[in-house]
Structure 1
Amino acid sequence: MKRVYILAAAAFLLLNACKKDLTGPSVDDNILNYDIEEIPVTENYVVGAFYTSFGGWNANIKEVPVVGKYGMPNGVLTPGIMPKHIAYGVKAGLDYFVFSFRSPNRDANNFRSDSTLIRGFIDSDGEGQMKFAMSYNFSTGTYGGISASNPIEKDKLKLAQFFDDFRRIVPYLKDAHYQKVGDKPLLYIQNAQTLFSDSNKAIYDTLRSQLKALGVEPYIVGMQDRWTPPARYEIRFKGCVDAIYHQSFSSQINNWDRWYLLPQMMDQNWKYSKDYFDKNFGVDYVPNITPAYSWKINTPTSTNPEYPRTDSGAMFIKLCNVAKMNASSKTRLIMIDGWNNWTEDSQLEPAESYGERYLNIVKKQFKK
């Protein structure tokens, strides 16, 4: 009889254990299970957009610019286009365009092309409606394959050329049209995480010292590659830059989990990254968002998830609010990638199919 009682008690405990499992964690407990709320604008954000220099129109590009298809051979933009771009940028509430510049020492032809495009902007912006900033297009390829085991200091010529690249642009940094953070010219460094050096802090200290001797104290924003943890590049950023931005999370999405919950995943990543950068590096964070993205233009057979445009622009609106939630309270910088990247369908620029929809979204989301 005693054995019967023991078996009955065991059965009771097992049944109740099963019931507890049935009332365990649910989708409601998931950290990503929340809505992205509309963040009201009580103070204007400082919004920039990357301006793309491209060689031609891919046959797979379906969208057509409202201003018509244009070219920029050797940096010479089709006449009449830049004033229209500036007018549209102002309409969107953009504060500045960011133009890429390549090494005048190691990529001289492209540097001349970049400089020509920037000069075209300055000449077209006679009334000072918009500002511009520059992004140093750094790559290890430009510098002959420097790496963690082959840092830039090992080649004195390359190191000298690196510093000279920045000294060459000082006249631009002093231009009245140039975007500033406070009284400091805003300078982006693309692929900053690949500046392999024995001491990145020493490199940046020398760079700042040389620029200061020429009358310039820049606010430097370094790029970190997309979907990477904030601690990965501590040696490349700590004591080096004033702020960090990520390569666009909302472009080149090749993971379906990220596609389904993109705003929430970006929000959680940025919240953690922003907090980590602030507490451990003492630097600000600059959110970077993209209006749309298509793999099909460059890779028609791609099966990766597409980030398409919609009649309402609902996804982009959510990403605008994620950006506002994670912008620095000190600088309020927001980046959009990009203005005219038609080769990836990530452009903010108006097209015949969607008109000025995305300009209007940006103006409403970031300006009072």
Structure 2
Amino acid sequence: MKKKHIYRYSLLVLLMSAGLLSCKKNDPTVKDNFLNYQIPDVPVTSNYTVGAFYYTFTTLNANVTQIPTVGKYGYTNGLPPAGIMQQHIADAGIAKIDYFIFSVRSPTLDNKNYLVDSTTVNAFLNAPNSAGINFALSYNLNTGLLGITNSGGTTGNGVTVETDPVKLAAFYNDFKRLAFFLGKANYQKVNGKYLLIINNAQDLNSKDNVALYKQLRANLSAMGFDLYIVGMQNRWSPPERYYYRFQNCTDAMYEANMGDVAGDNDRYWNFPQYTDQNWAYWKKTIEAWNMEFVPCVMAGYNYQINNPTTNQLSVQRTADGSWYKTFTNVAKRNASKSRLIFVDSFNNFSVDSQIEPTQAYGNTYLDITRQAFKLN
């Protein structure tokens, strides 16, 4: 009987050992990681519609190492030096960019800065070659001017735009005043509707965002402008976080400044895969809301320009623009049916995200943009 127990025990140990060995053979490896894949080249079967964010600045930061081909320049109260805008439009033509996106502040509550912004837009419109490219506006949502907060207040849920009827009226009036630009012949449209971007739309705290956007659309529709609204949400965040400020409100959404990895080194080292997974989730989620996703690509992101002592990892440009090329393929994998693409930026030298030609890399980033998003 004792021998029988020993035999059974030995057999049990043998089976357990075999099981452990079997498990070891199936232990996960690096190859099993869901991020272990390469972003494939995505061929262009039909053109994408590309808009590039256009920036203004007084002078170039002293830490900027990429010198524009046109030489160093700045804007005086929004006005570029003679010939600069004309050259920028010509450069955009090389990249086959469809339109520039100009940021505008509140015409009603921030008129002084709005005049600066509108000066830049008018400089574009007055350029002799402006008919060759379209433009669109990005409304720079300033919660402070509108009296909006996203926390605190009597309820703890912040102060909504409806709290002050005068400022609510100013908000609506801003868009009525912007209709002046929407009426220009080369204003950008999407599916026959006038494209309007709202910057930091996740901060538009309202008692009823659906009603707010419905009224905004009605106001502009009465003036002859049916809107296609794209709302911006801050980088590396899930779309559900602010669903009540976008769902049934905007036509599309995008995430800004993905190249700013916000100190997360995993995002830096696995940037294409992290962004691809993020955008695939975004696309699936908001398309289920009957909205579109607009991928927004960048040519680089350099923290040290504004803060030379920071130890954050910056995207360093390479001679062949390989990081940007990969980013454009991530964008094509995740674009929605209208095939909209944003490029941030045409000329934001303050973070080295520009595709504007420079003395170092020439037209490289213009060429990559054209080859990535347009049929040859």
Contact 1:277–1:285, Cα closer than 8 Å, also in 2:
yes
Where 1:168 maps in the other structure, the secondary structure is helix
Structure 2 residue aligned with 1:339? 346
TM-score normalised by length of structure 1:
0.97
Name the Cα RMSD after superposition.
1.3
For residues 33-44 of structure 1, the aligned pairs below 5 Å read: 33-44=36-47
Aligned to 1:116: 119
Is the 1:251–1:292 Cα contact (8 Å) retained in structure 2? no
Q: Tell me which amino acid in the other structure corresponds to 2:197.
A: Y
Contact 1:77–1:120 (Cα < 8 Å) also in 2? yes
1:256 aligns with 2:265: yes
Deviations 1:39-62 (A, max 9, x none): 111101101110012222211111
Partners in 1 of 2:64 and 2:23 — Cα distance? 52
Deviation per residue, 1:129-153 (Å, 9 max, x gap) = 1110000000312323433421111
**Counterpart of 1:22?**
24
How far residue 233 of structure 1 moved from its aligned partner, in angstroms, is: 0.9
Does 248-257 or 112-121 show the bigger shift? 248-257
Report the equivalent of 2:301. 293
Match 2:358 to one of 340, 351, 356: 351
Structure 1 counterpart SS, 2:305: coil
Question: C-alpha deviations, 1:178-202, integer Å up to 9, x for none?
Answer: 1111221111000000000010001
Report the residue type matching 2:295 in the other structure. Answer: P
In the TM superposition, structure 1's runs of 4+ consecutive aligned residues that sit over 3 Å from their partners are none
Deviation at 1:252, TM superposition (A): 4.3
Q: How does 1:79-228 map to 2 (within 5 A)?
A: 79-126=82-129, 128-147=131-150, 148-228=157-237
Partner of 1:321: 329
Q: Report the more deviating stretch, 138-147 or 303-312.
A: 138-147
- How many residues matched? 366
Contact 1:223 1:245 in 2 (8 A): yes
**Counterpart AA for 1:291:** A
Match of 2:314 in 1: 306
Moved more, 94-103 or 140-149: 140-149
Residue in 1 aligned with 2:11? 9
SS in 2 for 1:258: helix
Q: Could you tell me which amino acid in structure 1 is paired with residue 29 of structure 2? A: S
Secondary structure of the 2:91 match is helix
SS in 2 for 1:43: coil
Q: C-alpha separation between the residues in 2 aligned to 1:7 and 1:259?
A: 53
SS of residue paired to 2:77: helix
Alignment correspondent of 2:153: none
TM-score (norm 2): 0.94
In structure 1, what is the Cα distance between the partners aligned to 2:361 and 2:260? 19
Give the Cα–Cα distance (whole angstroms) in 1 for the partners of residues 22 and 110 of structure 2. 66
Q: Which sits farther off after the overlay, 120-129 or 297-306? A: 120-129
TM-superposed CA distance for 1:341, in Å, is 0.5
Unmatched 5+ residue regions in structure 2? 151-156
Letter in 1 for 2:292: D
Contact residue 139 and residue 198 of structure 2 kept, 8 A: yes
Taking the aligned partners of 2:365 and 2:262, their CA distance within structure 1 comes to: 20
| TM-fit CA distance, 1:167 | 0.4
1-side partners of 2:347 and 2:145: how far apart? 25
CA contact (8 A) 2:147 2:164 kept: no
Give the distance between the partners of 1:127 and 1:94, measured in 2 at CA.
13
What whole-Å deviation, never above 9, does each CA across 1:105-156 have from its counterpart, x for those lacking one?
A: 2211110000000000011154611110000000312323433421111110
Asked if 2 retains the 8 angstrom alpha-carbon contact of 1:96 and 1:130, the reply is: yes
Letter in 2 for 1:348: I
Give 1:243's aligned amino acid: A
Deviation for aligned residue 1:253: 4.5
- Match of 2:240, SS state, is coil
Alpha-carbon distance between aligned partners in 1 of 2:308 and 2:7, rounded to the nearest angstrom = 69
The aligned amino acid for 2:6 is V
Cα distance, 1:291 vs. partner?
0.3
Measured at CA, do residues 106 and 127 of structure 1 come closer, stay the same or move farther in structure 2, by a change above 3 Å? Answer: closer
Contact kept, 8 Å, 2:148 with 2:160, in 1: the verdict is no
Amino acid at match of 2:350: T
Identity %: 43
Aligned equivalents of 2:129 and 2:68: distance in 1? 24
Partner of 2:154: none
Amino acid at match of 2:183: K
Alignment partners' CA distance in 1, 2:15 and 2:62? 68
